[in-house]
Chain A
Amino acid sequence: MSEKILQLSVDKFLFRFPSGLNYSESGVWVKFEGSRARIGLSDFTQQRNGDVAFAEPKEVGTSVAWGDEVAVVETIKVNLSIPAPVGGKVVEVNGDLLNSPELVNQDPYGKGWLAVLEVEGGEAARGALKTAADYMALAKVQAEAEILR
């Protein structure tokens, strides 16, 4: 089954938002896999912040509350503290990012994933997130504001 991908075109940029994912306002995508959640940076987030030089999720076993730092991502432009889009325990991290951080830019929804969390809060955690359409609307406002700046 092919997943619908929403697309947003702003100026020369094209941003993609798979409809099967949820998104935090801070630009982190979440894919729920049973009681777990795989997370990564949205296409909009990776494009607006530039080439990723270091992507370092918290170690496996680390517990984070919603909004706590779950990863540090350094791009050639900025250092980002990535807030956890859901609370839980880190159970898996993407080891490929150690030597190939560019995967975050090249394949943000695939090979560029950051971590998997065992989610605390169940459905409540999901409810706090945005749908692809809602997040795309937010990204549109942010992208247009940046281009006008």
Chain B
Amino acid sequence: MSGTRRKMSVVPCSGIGKSLGAAAREAAFILAEDLRPATTKIVALSLLVMGDEEAEREVAGGEAVAIDGCKLECAAKGLACSGAARVHKVAVFDVIRRHRGLKPGGVCDLNEDGLRLARATADEAAKIVDDADAEGGHA
């Protein structure tokens, strides 16, 4: 594997005030800091939406993972408008349906179920990153 391969951008939901959004952001941190630090980097959706040049450069022409909380898919839509070459989607709302019974709570501090949900979401996102790696992607 090339040491200069571009890292995949991870753009989490910026929804404030809902536990699904908090789980999406926590999942992004787990992915980029713990699970796949060598192959992923976080880019803030708010910066992309505001047209921040550095954030746009990070994303443009590369592969990215949008981690959305709800079905509005703000992160995926924001990425689609940012010039990313390929956008992979993970939605916490879909992950929770595969982990029936979890009741995520909290916004500033996720409860135990919220943290479990974030971990499950990060695991799914990591699989996407690995698959893209196997295809030789990211740029």
- On A, residues with C-beta under 8 Å from B are 51, 53-54, 74, 76-78, 101-102, 106
Contact = CB atoms under 8 A, between A and B. Distances in A.
Nearest to B92: A76
A53 B97 CA distance: 6
Given A76-B20, A76-B96, A76-B104, 12 more contacts: A53-B96, A53-B97, A54-B97, A76-B19, A76-B102, A76-B103, A77-B105, A78-B103, A101-B97, A102-B71, A102-B93, A106-B71
Given A77-B105, A102-B71, A51 B100 contact: no
B70 interface: yes
Contacts of B105: 77
Contacts, number: 24
B111 to A, nearest CB: 11
**Most-contacted residue by chain A among B19, B20, B71 (CB, 10 A):** B71
Interface string B69-110: 011000000000000000000000100110010111100000
21 contacts: A51-B20, A51-B70, A51-B93, A53-B93, A53-B96, A53-B97, A53-B100, A54-B97, A54-B100, A74-B100, A76-B19, A76-B20, A76-B96, A76-B102, A76-B104, A77-B103, A77-B105, A102-B70, A102-B71, A102-B93, A106-B71
Contacts of B19: 76
Interface residues of B, number: 12
Contacts of B20: 51, 76
A54 B102 CA distance: 12
What 6 A-B pairs come out closest when comparing CB atoms?
A: A102-B71, A53-B97, A53-B96, A76-B104, A51-B70, A76-B96
Contacts of A53: 93, 96-97, 100
Interface string B51-75: 0000000000000000000110000
B59 to A, nearest CB: 27
Contacts of A106: 71
A95 to B, nearest CB: 16
A52 to B, nearest CB: 10
A129 to B, nearest CB: 31
